[in-house]
Amino acid sequence: MPNDFAFEMAASNLRYGPGVTDEVGMDLGDLGARRALVLCDPGLTDLSPGRTVRAALDREGVEYAFFDSIRVEPTDASMLEAIDFALGSGKLDAIVAVGGGSTIDTAKAVNLYTTYPADFLDYVNPPIGKGKPVPGPLKPLIAIPTTAGTGSETTGVSIFDFAKLHAKTGIAHRRLKPTLGLVDPENTRSLPPSVAASTGLDVLSHAIESYTATPFDTRPRPERPVLRPAYQGANPISDIWAIESLRMAAEYLVRTVEDPSDDEARGRMILASAYAGMGFGNAGVHLPHGMSYPVSGMVRDYRPEGYEVEHALVPHGTSVILNAPAVFRFTSSACPERHLRAAAVLGADTEGAQLEDAGEILASQIIALMRRLNMPNGLSALGYTPEDIPKLVEGTLPQHRLTKISPRRASAEDLARIFADAMSYE
């Protein structure tokens, strides 16, 4: 099979502006939607983003069913609950998701399974699910992010925790992409600092992972263009989004965490999140994300500050960034220039640096930022011990969609060493 020679750029339509959430009722009207489903998580129902959406629909006379029991860090069961609610809600012409990645990802699954009902695993990524393609167009979905993190408003990816395996997996198809993302910096004003930190570090990792992913022309060429994966590998278009989002995160993340009233910083960070989404949505993410899925799924009793939920959870951004320094130490030999450039964009002094030090320079830069943002210092701070490593490796190995675009192939033994390195950082 010859290598691929082409790459494709796909993203949702986006509209950016402070206060743009208020336009959602008019957007639904213009789409011809008479009755919509509005989804949000319970923490947001009475905060400004949730209230603004409902007021905007009321004003424009758009009827809606309202579901605010989205689980933060969704599971297969919580997605099925939202799907059942939608199926029992009568005719729906459109969906509005107002919330973080948990809500927007749940909305994508609701859209898919209410339009093309199927066994839940049918569309889920192989080898866990059957990986069937989305059969046709879906209902209009308007995504309104309230975190500056996942970039889910731009991507065709929906992630959930598959409880049986204690690891995350997902559904990935371009047709899942929201029709429109309303990117409104007013919506992140109420983010607790710890959530702003964790979600912002997710942006940073999206950018570095997509920039360091294996290049698109090292993958086999698909038989038909429709079979070209969304996670194609690094390419010249996604590089631009990745580097610019990294530059913005380097400049504005600490400011948003330390001062939520800093309008300029919040505006830039929610844009950085969407930019990183455009990059990784077309290039992909690799080992830090692949390894994060069992880190989240195997959680025991970790209860992070700022997350108002009843269950134990490892916030997504935290589960990713704790692996990142150890991963980049491992992957840098495959493309040291790119690791060094990412470190420089993050503010490291790379003048005269040796390429063989690129991984360590990038890792140190990330560790310093994690400290500044009060992140837990490695997986041991979440309660993991070296005895957990075999299970963490086992949960990473099925994440083919991600692990295969790592610039350096990681065997089970390599993953075990990377997890050991990620237990704590000096």
Ligand X SMILES: NC(=O)c1ccc[n+]([C@@H]2O[C@H](COP(=O)([O-])OP(=O)(O)OC[C@H]3O[C@@H](n4cnc5c(N)ncnc54)[C@H](O)[C@@H]3O)[C@@H](O)[C@H]2O)c1
- In the complex, the residues that contact ligand X under the rule CB under 6 A are 41, 43-44, 47, 49, 72-74, 99-103, 105, 146-147, 149-152, 155, 157-159, 168, 187-188, 190-191, 195, 199, 202, 307-309, 316-317
Judged by beta carbon, residue 30 or residue 308, the one nearer ligand X is 308
Judged by beta carbon, residue 167 or residue 422, the one nearer ligand X is 167
**Contact call for residues 70 and 78 (beta carbons, < 8 A):** yes
Shortest reach from residue 5's CB to ligand X, in Å: 26
Judged by beta carbon, residue 40 or residue 358, the one nearer ligand X is 40
Shortest reach from residue 64's CB to ligand X, in Å: 20
Measured distance CA(194)–CA(244) in Å, rounded = 24
Judged by beta carbon, residue 43 or residue 140, the one nearer ligand X is 43
Nearest to 152 by CA among 169, 130, 172, 123: 172
Q: Which residue has the tokens 């898919």?
A: 112
Shortest reach from residue 63's CB to ligand X, in Å: 25
**Contact call for residues 231 and 284 (beta carbons, < 8 A):** yes
Shortest reach from residue 315's CB to ligand X, in Å: 6
**Contact call for residues 361 and 346 (beta carbons, < 8 A):** no
**Contact call for residues 316 and 202 (beta carbons, < 8 A):** yes
Measured distance CA(107)–CA(178) in Å, rounded = 9
| CA 339 to chain CA mean position, Å | 21
Structure tokens belonging to residue 352: 């005269």
Measured distance CA(380)–CA(67) in Å, rounded = 36
Phi, psi of 142 (to 5 degrees): -105, 120
Measured distance CA(142)–CA(22) in Å, rounded = 12
Shortest reach from residue 79's CB to ligand X, in Å: 11
Shortest reach from residue 125's CB to ligand X, in Å: 12
Judged by beta carbon, residue 23 or residue 105, the one nearer ligand X is 105
Judged by beta carbon, residue 25 or residue 49, the one nearer ligand X is 49
